[in-house]
Structure 1
Amino acid sequence: MPAEDSDVLEFRLPDLGEGLADGELVSWAVAVGDTVELNQTIAEVETAKAVVALPSPFSGVVVELLAQPGDTVPVGAPLIRVRNDLAVTPQPTVDEVRRDDVLVGYGPSAEATSRRRPAVSREGASSSHRASATPGARKLAKELGVDLWFIAGSGPDGAVTVEDVRASVPVTVPGRQGGSNGGFGVDSEFVRATPEFGRGSSPERGGSAAGTGPGIGSGLDGHTAAQQNSDHSGTDRGSGGLIEPTAREERVAVSGIRKRTAAAMVASARTIPQASTFVTIDCTASMELLDHLRTTKSFAELALTPLSVVAKAVLAAIADFPAINASWDEENQQIAIKHFVNLGIAVATDRGLLVPTVKEAHTLGLSELCREIAWSAETARSGDATPADLRGGTFTITNVGVFGVDSGAPLVNPGEAAILSLGAIRRRPWVHRDELAIRWVTTLGLSFDHRMIDGELGARFLARVGEYLSDPLTLLSR
């Protein structure tokens, strides 16, 4: 459609979240010739962190779709043209959207305004327009394959720093041990799905982070991990579409969550010297506490799971050892110890592995923490989590028990100091009060950044978490 046609309005992809330079068009909700209304959803776009529904900023008749599903669309690029013969309010420019930090589909963001640079055409760009960055930032960006053009700098005169580069890598939780695929979510052997699923139903404990229903604990869409593997056709939204499958192999396009997961794995492995430690504990008292709380009025309507108690134990242990809740500032050679906890909970979704964060988790009681974990997991699985929901974590919990394994060592998220893994809770022989008994037993693991955390601190922190789970009554008053 000719650009000089004043009746045709062009909608360009706005900034969908701080630090996001592009999005993948998932689907169109309209077609050429359709009439659209103001704020009607016209498309879904997948970013590194969420699927976002794009509402139309004006009404009219669709005359041209400028991208196809599967296309990666840069911020500021045209998406759709709509004819409208009525007077309309001009669409905000990308710069205006960025200044207001409006997340399309979710209203104004409570986060600080975006620091991402304006989209710049790379064709014909001269060296004089090269992005300003420190030498360390350039080196790290080259290692990670990160484009400095799309990173806003926090250094002097807007220079990109090492921390800016590291912060541009999305938060995912790659795994590296035990064939657990990282051990994400909550083990079906770990958490009971419903209060009715008691000891008489199974020799093991099962369930999900969000309580009842399909998802993390019971496998996606209610399937077990084994069913998912046997039913997998080789394509999913998290990994991209199949490319020319053959009798001997098939290839999957790397895009969306899978592409960002790969970048996070590289960033974690290359930039963080990591160590891991483990402890096996008797958590029978925690399981008995859960059984008791489910009979009380305060918790009767909640999807109370062992994960809630584990999260509370982690928060209490962080209060005892605050240096575990920190980040590394390479540029200034400083350790930033956080006086707040944004608790990341790894969630398995049909788009890939996501880590929604429970903001200010250290201020929550057990019942509030239970609600927030359930809500975070559900919004991540349903695709309703916003980019703001999936960033800002200071400590992460993941679970290798989701695939029935007992321990694992996940990689530390860039920007954090440690990650706790949970194994399956099983009925096992255990020496209790000098006698052999059958008890509920699990293994906890801690991976940590050895630049910030010595082995002693890591071991003492993990042991303290285990102590709280072995004697959880002290948690109720915190």
Structure 2
Amino acid sequence: MTATEQRFREFKMPDVGEGLTEAEILKWYVRPGDTVTDGQVICEVETAKAAVELPSPYEGVVHAVHFEEGTTVDVGTSIIAVDTDPGAGPAEAPAAAEPAPAAAEEDAEPQGRQAVLVGYGAAPSSTKRRARKPQPGVPAQEPAAAAVQAELNGHAAAPAPAAPAAPAPGRPLAKPPVRKLAKDLGIDLATVTPTGPDGVITREDVHAAAAPAPAAEAPAPQPAATEAPAASGTPRPRETRIPIKGVRKATAQAMVNSAFTAPHVTEFVTVDVTRTMKLVQELKQDTDMAGLRVNPLLLVAKALLVAIKRNPDVNAAWDETNQEIVRKDYVNLGIAAATPRGLIVPNIKDADAKTLPQLAEALGELVSTAREGKTSPADMSGGTVTITNVGVFGVDTGTPILNPGESAILAFGAVKLQPWVHKGKVKPRQVTTLALSFDHRLVDGELGSKVLADTAAILEHPKRLITWA
């Protein structure tokens, strides 16, 4: 490592979640010129599993931030440079961060010398990578450093900036974040009219190209069906395109893999939970549960854990490689949570070993952390069985899809007051519907039915939480 490399330390995008290959930079908490300490949070990134805050491994002054917010960066690519010895005086700055292989291939220029996009360097060949744009607030390089940087970029330093060359035919000029935006929106940059300096395509140009065509280009509607114009006089957009990335992208892929890998079977049962709802109200007044979140989901979770204890073979996984069924002697209970970034399923580790107050505390922390978007990848790995509470949306039940690698998932529907035959008479009772989906490769109909029936029986007569446990 050279003296310059020892002073200017590059922090590379880490793998924060079990083999993930990329992460999106959501927010920077520092900028060039800021002083940072070892362990200070410098940015927040979103992986395919969760949003994670990254701490600085170095102490010093931020020299450069290599990527803008909203940029997806491959793991192993440098995202920030820190000057660890700012008091040492001027020094040759390190070369700007080199794009990851995938990004470099996407941004590669055709053979021959191309127009220089400010801050990105020139590309003399299809394999040459352009340097990243310097960040605002970073002092200009010393002449010697500029010469070294120019040489690294593939061209000699010039005493004065020359007029930019004309862009190569068929190769629009755009910065990597703009190229990514166009790719996410399905826009061919060759069809976009540039408005930026020197013919550079901007984000606004891409958004304009993605907007629907003016109404004048479409057949004129009949007077009775005329669409009211917006206040500005332009037609309202009829479509909104949202890039699929991060948690939503991973969830979609996982659900497709699960649905077409594990043969799903779903069974249903409708049960009178009046006694359970009364117990919820009593527990809210219990001093041992003071300050804890007590709700019907808590007792549904406890009932399912007792049912699994009575039928342990349901808590298993299918090992395709070794052709084995792996029974788990612990229950990591997943709770599906809807967040602004998409559906995530964090799990309570060793939920089966927890008392009711401990389970309530863990459930409360899990929900709060998920809503804040702070769930870590570790909290979402290793689940064995999951509960999805669709009742909070007023839904009676559903046919939930298994989390990959898990054997069963229970859907808890809305609790409603319904007419019910109770002790030989029709009375209004609190009723809900449970649905259990399971992997039929390792859970047969008898086992799945027992688990669902036991869960329902406990919710109908919650004293079984004591007698059966």
TM-score class, shorter-chain normalisation, is 0.5 to 0.7
Q: Which amino acid aligns with 1:278?
A: F
Instruction: Using the TM superposition, give the Cα deviation of residue 37 of structure 1 relative to its aligned residue in structure 2, in angstroms.
Output: 2.6
Q: Which amino acid aligns with 1:272?
A: A
Q: Deviations over 1:191-226 (max 9, x none)?
A: xxxxxxxxxxxxxxxxxxxxxxxxxxxxxxxxxxxx
Q: Deviations over 1:94-147 (max 9, x none)?
A: xxxxxxxxxxxxxxxxxxxxxxxxxx957999xxxxxxxxxxxxxxxxxxxxxx
Which stretch shifts more, 434-443 or 22-31? 22-31
Decide whether aligned partners of structure 1 residues 431 and 23 sit closer, same or farther in structure 2, where only a CA change above 3 A counts: same
Q: Which has the higher contact order (CA 8 A, sep 6+)?
A: 1
Name the counterpart of 2:451: 461
- Asked if residue 429 in structure 1 is aligned to residue 419 in structure 2, the reply is yes
- Asked if residue 75 in structure 1 is aligned to residue 75 in structure 2, the reply is yes
Decide whether aligned partners of structure 1 residues 343 and 245 sit closer, same or farther in structure 2, where only a CA change above 3 A counts: farther
The CA distance in 1 between the partners of 2:16 and 2:262, in whole Å, is: 29
Matched positions, count:
333
Secondary structure in 1 aligned to 2:453? Answer: helix
Name the counterpart of 2:7: 7
* Mapping 1:122-141, distance limit 5 Å: none
Q: Which ranges of structure 2 fall in alignment gaps of 5 or more residues? A: 89-99, 106-184, 186-202, 213-236
Name the counterpart of 1:279: 269
Q: Is this contact kept in 2: 1:245–1:251, CA < 8 A?
A: no
- Asked if residue 22 in structure 1 is aligned to residue 22 in structure 2, the reply is yes
The CA distance in 2 between the partners of 1:308 and 1:11, in whole Å, is: 43
Name the counterpart of 1:441: 431
Name the counterpart of 2:404: 414
Name the counterpart of 1:222: none
- Deviating beyond 6 angstroms after TM superposition, the runs of 4 or more aligned structure 1 residues are 122-125
- Asked if residue 364 in structure 1 is aligned to residue 360 in structure 2, the reply is no
* Mapping 1:4-403, distance limit 5 Å: 4=4, 6-85=6-85, 244-246=210-212, 247-403=237-393
Decide whether aligned partners of structure 1 residues 425 and 37 sit closer, same or farther in structure 2, where only a CA change above 3 A counts: same
Q: TM-score, normalised by structure 1?
A: 0.66
The CA distance in 1 between the partners of 2:4 and 2:356, in whole Å, is: 60
Name the counterpart of 2:440: 450
Q: Which amino acid aligns with 1:34?
A: D
Q: Which amino acid aligns with 2:303?
A: A
Q: Deviations over 1:257-311 (max 9, x none)?
A: 1110111111111111111110000001101111222222112332211111000
The CA distance in 2 between the partners of 1:253 and 1:3, in whole Å, is: 43
Q: Which ranges of structure 1 fall in alignment gaps of 5 or more residues? A: 89-119, 126-238
The CA distance in 1 between the partners of 2:10 and 2:466, in whole Å, is: 56
Secondary structure in 2 aligned to 1:307? Answer: helix
The CA distance in 1 between the partners of 2:362 and 2:273, in whole Å, is: 23
The CA distance in 1 between the partners of 2:251 and 2:427, in whole Å, is: 43
Decide whether aligned partners of structure 1 residues 66 and 329 sit closer, same or farther in structure 2, where only a CA change above 3 A counts: same
Q: Deviations over 1:79-108 (max 9, x none)?
A: 0112232699xxxxxxxxxxxxxxxxxxxx
Secondary structure in 2 aligned to 1:462? Answer: helix
The CA distance in 2 between the partners of 1:29 and 1:300, in whole Å, is: 38
**What percentage of residue pairs aligned between the two structures are identical?**
48
RMSD: 2.7
Decide whether aligned partners of structure 1 residues 277 and 3 sit closer, same or farther in structure 2, where only a CA change above 3 A counts: farther
The CA distance in 2 between the partners of 1:37 and 1:245, in whole Å, is: 44
Q: Deviations over 1:228-279 (max 9, x none)?
A: xxxxxxxxxxx9x996354221211111111101111111111111111100
Q: Which amino acid aligns with 2:33?
A: G
Instruction: Using the TM superposition, give the Cα deviation of residue 36 of structure 1 relative to its aligned residue in structure 2, in angstroms.
Output: 2.2
Which stretch shifts more, 451-460 or 427-436? 451-460
Q: Is this contact kept in 1: 2:255–2:402, CA < 8 A?
A: no
Q: Is this contact kept in 2: 1:326–1:417, CA < 8 A?
A: yes
Instruction: Using the TM superposition, give the Cα deviation of residue 63 of structure 1 relative to its aligned residue in structure 2, in angstroms.
Output: 2.2
Decide whether aligned partners of structure 1 residues 332 and 13 sit closer, same or farther in structure 2, where only a CA change above 3 A counts: same
Decide whether aligned partners of structure 1 residues 123 and 78 sit closer, same or farther in structure 2, where only a CA change above 3 A counts: closer
Instruction: Using the TM superposition, give the Cα deviation of residue 3 of structure 1 relative to its aligned residue in structure 2, in angstroms.
Output: 9.7
The CA distance in 1 between the partners of 2:396 and 2:103, in whole Å, is: 52
Name the counterpart of 2:92: none
The CA distance in 1 between the partners of 2:337 and 2:60, in whole Å, is: 40
The CA distance in 1 between the partners of 2:386 and 2:87, in whole Å, is: 50
Q: Which amino acid aligns with 2:13?
A: L
Secondary structure in 2 aligned to 1:367? Answer: helix
The CA distance in 2 between the partners of 1:75 and 1:440, in whole Å, is: 51
Instruction: Using the TM superposition, give the Cα deviation of residue 32 of structure 1 relative to its aligned residue in structure 2, in angstroms.
Output: 2.0
Q: Is this contact kept in 2: 1:310–1:469, CA < 8 A?
A: yes
Q: TM-score, normalised by structure 2?
A: 0.67
The CA distance in 1 between the partners of 2:263 and 2:456, in whole Å, is: 25
Decide whether aligned partners of structure 1 residues 472 and 54 sit closer, same or farther in structure 2, where only a CA change above 3 A counts: same
